[in-house]
Amino acid sequence: MLTIMKYIIIYSIILFFLGSCSFLEEYSQDTVQVRGYEDLEELLIGEGYMKVNGSYSLEQVASYYPYLHYMSDETEECEKSDFGSSGFNRRDAIFGYYTWQDRCGVNEYGSSFADESGDWTKLYYHVNIVNSVIDLIDEYIKGGDNEVAGANRVKGEAYFLRGAYYFTLINLYGKPYEISTAENDLGVPLKLTGEIQDVIFQRESVARVYEQIESDLKIAEDCLGKANLPGTIYQADSTAVHLLMSRFYLYKQDWKQALKYARKVIAVKPDLLDLNGFSGGFLSKSSVETIFSMGGHAITHNTVNQYKSFQVSREMYDTYDITDLRKSVFFWTYNDFVGYAKIAESSSFANDDPAADYYYNYTLAYEGRKIEVSDNFLFRNAEAYLNGAEAAAYLGDEATALDLLEQLRVKRFKNESYATLQKSGEELVTEIREERRRELCLEGHRWFDLRRYMVCEKYPYSKEIEKVYYVYKDDSSDEKIEKRVYKLEKNDPAYVLPIPHEVLEFHTGMQNNPHPVRSYRIESLN
């Protein structure tokens, strides 16, 4: 029976997180009596899922860890501009991430530091909300069939979200899963109840965190398999769980399970967009490929043809063959600039003048209009084909790997020039990885993929990345006075983010990740 001692932390959790740099700090609690699973569902939808509000800057609430796109090789600083200055420096918010500094919040002068704990705080905030739902939901798996199904759906969503959040946290702040060292590698703290606990939280091992994620996702799979399906992509269903499980096992190097769950996704969502004759925006909530999305979208506003901004990296753009239709569907170009055109709304000004696309992209984001899908928490069935192909290749089942890969590629290349792949062994794995880079670009995968490739037992790979950063005469000037080049070395410790400084200040005993001081070389501006 639900007693007076059982309650959900609502307003207190909000104050708890927004007013503190740590998820362990104590505050007084407000209590709310729960009348049924519907109340828990309302809490979950309102506060458990990532916010989807539109945003126009990296600092807005809807922007969850947007620096992923800027740490990897997907973006670069806009070196030349056809449209002058943006009016403010888009680089300020992420300088420390973009150049892989030991303090992520540092500015280019080393003179001040921005808050580094934003994503840590937001993710643990959602974890605590979800924990509160999990603590109570079993009380309401009763009554008629509809009530039981509804309660199971809420329970499944809650466990899915907790697994997803810890999966994100471990891949931001913990080492990638290496089979031989996971038991000793430091992960993140695990908080598994909504109640305030009088304990000092410490970092669990990577293996322990993965164990918890696996447990959560299996419960989610079971519960959502018993439940009625939601009618929106903004609530997780069984297919979303299976896709995350496929990704989870791929990261864990459990190839059989990764392939198994990829096949489950494809069995339910087999259809892929054929880019031959395709027009309109690629990513949308109504696409046959879209499975689930939560969180905001900040790429559009920060990849514009202006000084002190970013663009899609030329290196990545050049990986697309001329017969690859994604090259024109995903991007737009204007002289030396490569812009982002993957979201549904960014193609509304499709015409012969790329300047119109530029202005539309800028205006769209600046006005804070809601974009339908997230830039780093979007589930598409194309990933299932790639997860399955990669896992099958590691297992030595190259026929399956090629079949899954070809089912995707045939929808992405011009029909008249398409050629079937003839590759095997490491060459096939490399092709799958590159196909993954092209297909899932700027959807929040690349940084995590580069991390896991480093420790892959079959065909390990690590990449050296260089980033150019220009120093301007002053904040209001477009005159460059220095060109700095920062380098991320192969197997660099900076592939793991440091624990936020604010968290370490509160939890003085928490061990940080080793992170080298990042220097740069100066190159000629000519």
36 confidence band (pLDDT: 50, 70, 90): confident
Whether pLDDT at 509 is above 90: no
Which of the given ranges, 47-56, 147-156, 470-479, has the highest pLDDT on average? 147-156
Instruction: List, for residues 145-169, the tens digit of each pLDDT value.
Output: 888 999 999 999 999 999 999 999 9
Whether pLDDT at 351 is above 70: no
Q: Which residue has the tokens 């190839």?
A: 255
Q: Quick one: which of 41, 66, 67, 63 has its CA closest to 53? A: 63
198 confidence band (pLDDT: 50, 70, 90): confident
User: Average pLDDT for residues 378-383, to the nearest whole number?
Assistant: 98
**Contact (Cβ atoms closer than 8 angstroms) between residue 181 and residue 149:** no
pLDDT value at position 143?
Answer: 84
**Does 61 or 331 have the greater pLDDT score?**
331
Helix/strand/coil for 466 = strand
pLDDT value at position 345?
Answer: 54
User: Average pLDDT for residues 237-246, to the nearest whole number?
Assistant: 97
pLDDT value at position 194?
Answer: 87
Q: Note the residue count of the chain.
A: 526
Instruction: List, for residues 100-109, the tens digit of each pLDDT value.
Output: 999 999 988 8
**Contact (Cβ atoms closer than 8 angstroms) between residue 444 and residue 377:** yes
User: Average pLDDT for residues 456-463, to the nearest whole number?
Assistant: 97
Q: At residue 85, what are phi and psi to the nearest 5 degrees?
A: -95, 155
Alpha carbon distances (Å) from 246 to 153, 239, 293, 395: 21, 10, 17, 15
Rounded Cα–Cα distance for residues 134 and 220 (Å)? 11
Instruction: List, for residues 166-195, the tens digit of each pLDDT value.
Output: 999 999 999 999 999 999 999 999 999 988
Q: What is the mean pLDDT of the chain?
A: 87
483 forms beta bridges with 470, 523
User: Average pLDDT for residues 59-70, to the nearest whole number?
Assistant: 76
Rg (CA), the chain: 23
Rounded Cα–Cα distance for residues 111 and 90 (Å)? 18
pLDDT value at position 344?
Answer: 64
302 confidence band (pLDDT: 50, 70, 90): confident
pLDDT value at position 297?
Answer: 83
